[in-house]
């Protein structure tokens, strides 16, 4: 595992995101919606830095399952989404990869009647975008590597790392102890 961003760099990136969001929304009420599960660490850190009247909600979206390192079919569950009708909404995600998830979620939230929808991501993976969309707030651009830590996982591991690391190819091929029956 190679460290790409230290805990201190991540903290500064979240501080910068929060400052831009506070500036752009001034004192307007905001509904911040985290995209489960990868955004939970970012969401928690970000909302503590946004000194605005805000509500928090969640939506579940996944195109990676099990040990997959490439996206598959996108599944969205918006049962935890609060009423966003007439509200300014900020969608928060861990990583902007191909962009399909973010585009689908922006459209979903608009269908629920949001007054406006903006997006914030911790990471934008370079060279992977397959859609004509750019998140409104981006903390870091990273190379096209499989990354873990700060909420991002591989086979449900590594989310708790306080830094961001890239897994090597041989680490991606290893099975976890749980899968080995341990």
- Active-site residue (options: 94, 97, 144, 170): 97
Question: Does 179 reside within a domain?
Answer: no
For residue 97, indicate whether it is catalytic: yes
In a domain, 31, yes or no: yes
pLDDT in tens, the chain (182 residues): 899 999 999 999 999 999 999 999 998 999 999 999 899 999 999 999 999 999 999 999 876 555 555 556 788 888 888 999 999 999 999 999 999 999 999 999 999 999 999 999 999 999 989 999 999 999 999 999 999 999 999 988 999 999 999 998 877 765 443 333 32
Q: Is the N-terminal amide bond of 37 cis, ω within 30° of 0?
A: yes
Question: Does residue 42 form part of some domain?
Answer: yes
Residue 107 lies in a domain: yes
Asked if 48 and 57 touch (Cβ cutoff 8 Å), the reply is no
**178, part of any domain:** no
List the CATH number of the domain containing 86: 3.40.50.2020
Instruction: Count how many domains the chain has.
Output: 1
Q: What is the H or E stretch that residue 20 is in?
A: helix 7-25
**Residue 62 within a domain:** yes
Residue 180 lies in a domain: no
In a domain, 38, yes or no: yes
């Amino acid at each position: 595992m190679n460290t790409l961003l230290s805990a201190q760099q991540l903290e500064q990136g979240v501080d910068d995101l929060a400052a831009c969001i506070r500036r752009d929304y001034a004192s307007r009420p905001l509904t911040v919606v985290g995209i489960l599960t990868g955004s939970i660490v970012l969401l928690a850190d970000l909302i503590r830095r946004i000194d605005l009247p805000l509500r928090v909600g969640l939506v579940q979206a996944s195109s990676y399952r099990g040990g997959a390192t490439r996206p598959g079919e996108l599944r969205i569950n918006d049962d935890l989404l609060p009423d966003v009708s007439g509200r300014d909404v900020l969608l928060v995600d861990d990583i902007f990869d191909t962009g399909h998830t973010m585009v689908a979620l922006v459209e979903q939230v608009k269908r629920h009647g949001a007054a406006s929808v903006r997006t914030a991501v911790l990471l934008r993976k370079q060279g992977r975008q397959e859609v004509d969309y750019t998140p409104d707030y981006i903390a870091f651009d990273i190379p096209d590597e499989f990354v873990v830590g700060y909420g991002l996982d591989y086979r449900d591991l590594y989310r708790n790392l306080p830094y961001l690391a890239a897994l090597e190819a041989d680490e991606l091929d290893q099975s976890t102890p749980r899968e080995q029956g341990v």
